Amino acid sequence: MMMINAVILDDEQHCVNLLENLINSSGEIILLASYTNAEQALKEMQNNSPDVLFLDIQLGNQSGFDFLQKINKVDFEIIFTTAFSEYAIQAFRLSAVDYLLKPIDEKDFHDAIVKLKKRRNQSAISQQLDILFHNLEENTSSKKIHVSTQDSILFIDLEDILYCQADINYTYLHVFKNAKYTVSKSLKHFEKLLIPFNFARIHNSYIVNLNHVVKYTKGKGGYVTLKNNTVLPVSTRRKEDFLNRLR
């Protein structure tokens, strides 16, 4: 089993202690160092990057994001530790950058390590961080989403997604210019990500971008027509919620 080298940066000692206990009991992580001082961590990490950095978002008078921007090259995974608002959590989810909510739960920690091991050989952490910083800007109207397909990693503007279509455990993302991407995630996964950004689940098989709906045709459930002339059914069960979202 390949061990994971980790570093902790958190300005609260009790949070460092908790993470150290979780890491030491995991049996698959080597703790290289723990820091409560960002400047010390920056100096030492420039010459010795870990596989993963557990990084507190709030570091005294600066943020974890400020810390990352001082590093010449981020070539390691990052798991943020945070008590941030739901707005920020949505940004993490869209960018696929991992996070742990404080106080850190043991199961959440182990789930994060499982995900870390799965993505270590296909990481695009620099691009993911760019998306995260972009999505955290409050004056940014266009958000982006990180999506992995079988042969590529994509960074898609949410406004370009027309609709999502379910295919058992896969989802097809239909975007402008007749592009379609196959993603090995369920439609439920995208529902959680996209609903806060003016998308609506209109059917067991479809989520639509409400910004691209040009017409609703009445019926038992009815139909929607999108800007590219795609017509999709609305299920009877989801009709009322969909119409409320349009108002």
Angle of helix 106-119 relative to helix 13-26, nearest 10 degrees, comes to 60
How large is the angle between the packed helices 86-95 and 187-194, nearest 10 degrees? Answer: 140
Q: Which CATH number is associated with domain 4-136?
A: 3.40.50.2300
Q: Radius of gyration (Cα) for the chain, nearest Å?
A: 21
- E strands, 176-237, are 179-183, 199-203, 206-209, 213-217, 223-226, 231-233
Domain ranges of the chain: 4-136, 144-246
CB 81 within 8 A of CB 10: yes
pLDDT over threshold 70, residue 1:
no
Instruction: Please list, in sequence order, all residues whose beta carbon lies within 8 angstroms of the beta carbon of residue 81, skipping any fewer than 6 positions away.
Output: 10, 15, 19, 54, 55, 56, 57, 99, 100, 102, 104
Determine the pLDDT at residue 77.
86
Report pLDDT digits (tens) over 53-112: 999 988 888 888 888 888 877 788 888 898 766 656 766 666 667 888 888 999 999 988
Q: How do residues 182-225 score in pLDDT, each as one tens digit? A: 998 899 999 988 998 899 999 999 999 999 999 999 999 999 99
Q: What is the pTM of this model?
A: 0.63
162-183 mean pLDDT: 92
| Residues in a beta bridge with 98 | 79
The CATH number that domain 144-246 falls under is 2.40.50.1020
Sheet holding 213-217, edge to edge: 213-217, 223-226, 231-233
